[in-house]
Amino acid sequence: MNKTVDQFLTLFSRSPDLIVASPGRINLIGEHTDYNLGYVLPAAIDKGFFFAFGRRDDLSCRIHALDLDDMCSFELTRFEKSDKNWVVLIQGVLDQCIRSNLMPAGFDCVFSSSIPIGSGLSSSTALDCGILKGMVALNDWQLDRWDLVNLSNRANNEYLGVQGGILDQFAIVFGKKDHSMLLDCRSRKYQYQSFTHDEIEWVVVDSGVRHNHLESGYNDRASECAQLVELVNRKYEEVKSLRDLTGHMLDDMAVKIPGALSRRGRFIISENQRVLDFVEAMKNADFQLMGALLKQSHLGLKNGYEVSCFEMDTLVSLADSHKDVYGARMVGGGFGGCIIILVKKRSTLDLIRMIEEKYERITGIRPNCFSISFGHGLRIIDKH
Ligand code: GLA
């Protein structure tokens, strides 16, 4: 945080008015279920973005991305879509505010991050939620947490063109220290699940393979799910999303449903059930069962939903080969990014050493491994 504030002072010759922290997120289980109106189990993590904001009297914004050593400036009344990824993310959320009749005043901003962009920890949503929180606080807008989730989600869908669900926004905005959250994406009801156990640790490994959901197969999967709903709905009118799908319906309509669509549907049905089973296992501190569910989820993402890749499969197999690992799986949209591992705490260092050495030998990529804990959600650290 200090380096962000120092840079703000250097660049703008004044102190910031507002400091915001926006965390990354992990999803323990329930992948690709959000836009299918199923269950997810995310948590905010103790890593993410810091923003220093200063008000301006005009309608300009000047934003400095400290880690990229890059700067952008534009007028809020008219801006062209930038060709830089990080700027487009910010423009998307500002555009969404303006379309919703929320016209922000101009601002100066410096931000920095402890999570790499495109690594599957939802760095892009952490960036746009941080900007959004800054706009709300600087302009005294009366918005609740769901308003922030919806604004950021619409920015993602409309400005960026990614047909994403609400997993990332929800986790970042609603995150609570030492808790994960079971969310029903259809009813939007959620429950905090407290989870602190000294004998286990969550380790994240970044495969180093970067993805961009516009170019990955992410939107293809969302379209396939929509096609499957349409097909099944011809016979079963009650099916409005894959949340309503059952294995029996897929069996019954087997001749009419292409194999790939059927695999996507079966994955979603089983992944939703795994989320509920995982929550029970967490309540009972049944680490073996939690691990088994993580493994099943990864297999489903690899073979049924087909969103894994060689590097992530390699990381998961290496993790699973360690005697003190309960289970591991890829996290997020897929096609690169991170895996999460549940491991006995006493073996964390040994596990990391083994993965670093073997993964680099196999793929030529040095993986980034770190432990995480469940951290605070989006929040204001300081305001003048
Ligand atoms: C990305 C999307 C989320 C969700 C996950 C997969 O992170 O932004 O909405 O679909 O992929 O679970």
75 with 56, same domain: the answer is yes
The number of domains in the chain is 2
Kindly give the distance from the C-alpha atom of residue 335 to the centroid of ligand 1, in angstroms, as a whole number. Answer: 12
With a 6 Å cutoff on the Cβ, whether 132 touches ligand 1 is no
E strand or H helix at 237: none
183 with 215, same domain: the answer is no
With a 6 Å cutoff on the Cβ, whether 271 touches ligand 1 is no
Beta carbons of 327 and 28 less than 8 angstroms apart: no
212 with 146, same domain: the answer is no
66 with 134, same domain: the answer is yes
What are the b/e assignments for 278-299, b being 16+ CB within 10 Å?
bbebbeeebbebbbbbbbbbbb
CATH number at residue 331: 3.30.70.890
Report how far residue 373's alpha carbon sits from residue 58's, in angstroms, rounded to the nearest whole number.
41
Kindly give the distance from the C-alpha atom of residue 6 to the centroid of ligand 1, in angstroms, as a whole number. Answer: 34
- Please give the pLDDT value at position 277: 98
223 with 167, same domain: the answer is no
171 with 135, same domain: the answer is yes
Token pair 């939703």 is found at 272
Report how far residue 312's alpha carbon sits from residue 333's, in angstroms, rounded to the nearest whole number.
12
Among 27, 33, 34, which is best to mutate for testing ligand 1, by the most ligand atoms less than 8 A from CB? 34
Strand order in the sheet with 18-27: 70-75, 60-65, 107-113, 42-55, 18-27, 379-383
Token pair 């396939």 is found at 224
177 with 236, same domain: the answer is no
136 with 232, same domain: the answer is no
CATH number at residue 135: 3.30.230.10
- Please give the pLDDT value at position 210: 81
Q: Is 147 a catalytic residue?
A: no
71 with 175, same domain: the answer is yes
Q: Which atom of ligand 1 is nearest to the CA of 167?
A: 9
Which position among 168, 277, 313, 320 bears the catalytic label? Answer: 168
Written as six digits, the tokens of 301 are 């993402």
Residues sharing a CB contact under 8 Å with residue 137, sequence separation 6 or more, in sequence order: 18, 20, 53, 380, 383
Among 167, 210, 298, which is best to mutate for testing ligand 1, by the most ligand atoms less than 8 A from CB? 167
- Please give the pLDDT value at position 170: 98
With a 6 Å cutoff on the Cβ, whether 164 touches ligand 1 is yes
Bridge partner list, 329: 340
Helix axes 145-154, 167-174, angle to 10 degrees: 150
With a 6 Å cutoff on the Cβ, whether 277 touches ligand 1 is no
CA distances to 26, 117, 178, 326 from 153, in Å: 17, 18, 25, 34
Beta carbons of 62 and 37 less than 8 angstroms apart: no
What secondary structure letter does DSSP report for 80?
P
Residue closest via CA to ligand 1's atom 8 equals 164
Beta carbons of 109 and 53 less than 8 angstroms apart: yes
Residue closest via CA to ligand 1's atom 10 equals 32
DSSP string, 258-308: -HHHHHHHHHHHHHHHHHHHHHHHHHTT-HHHHHHHHHHHHHIIIIIS---
State which amino acid sits at residue 339: I
Q: Which atom of ligand 1 is nearest to the CA of 33?
A: 12
Q: Which atom of ligand 1 is nearest to the CA of 165?
A: 9
Convert the pLDDT of each residue in 228-269 to its tens digit: 999 999 999 999 999 999 999 999 999 999 999 999 999 999
Kindly give the distance from the C-alpha atom of residue 31 to the centroid of ligand 1, in angstroms, as a whole number. Answer: 7
Q: Which atom of ligand 1 is nearest to the CA of 31?
A: 12
Residues sharing a CB contact under 8 Å with residue 157, sequence separation 6 or more, in sequence order: 163, 164
158 with 227, same domain: the answer is no
E strand or H helix at 202: strand 200-206
Whole-model pTM: value is: 0.96
Bridge partner list, 125: none
What are the start-end ranges of the H helices in 181-285? Answer: 218-235, 247-252, 259-283
Convert the pLDDT of each residue in 47-105 to its tens digit: 999 999 999 999 999 999 999 999 999 999 989 999 999 999 999 999 999 999 999 99
With a 6 Å cutoff on the Cβ, whether 165 touches ligand 1 is yes
What are the start-end ranges of the H helices in 76-210? Answer: 85-99, 123-139, 145-154, 167-174
- Please give the pLDDT value at position 64: 98
With a cut of 50, which residues of the chain have pLDDT below it?
Answer: none
Kindly give the distance from the C-alpha atom of residue 120 to the centroid of ligand 1, in angstroms, as a whole number. Answer: 9
38 with 173, same domain: the answer is yes
- 369 phi/psi in degrees, rounded to 5: -115, 135
222 with 307, same domain: the answer is yes
Domain ranges, residue 206:
200-371
Q: What is the dihedral of CA 302, 308, 311, 317, to 10 degrees?
A: -30
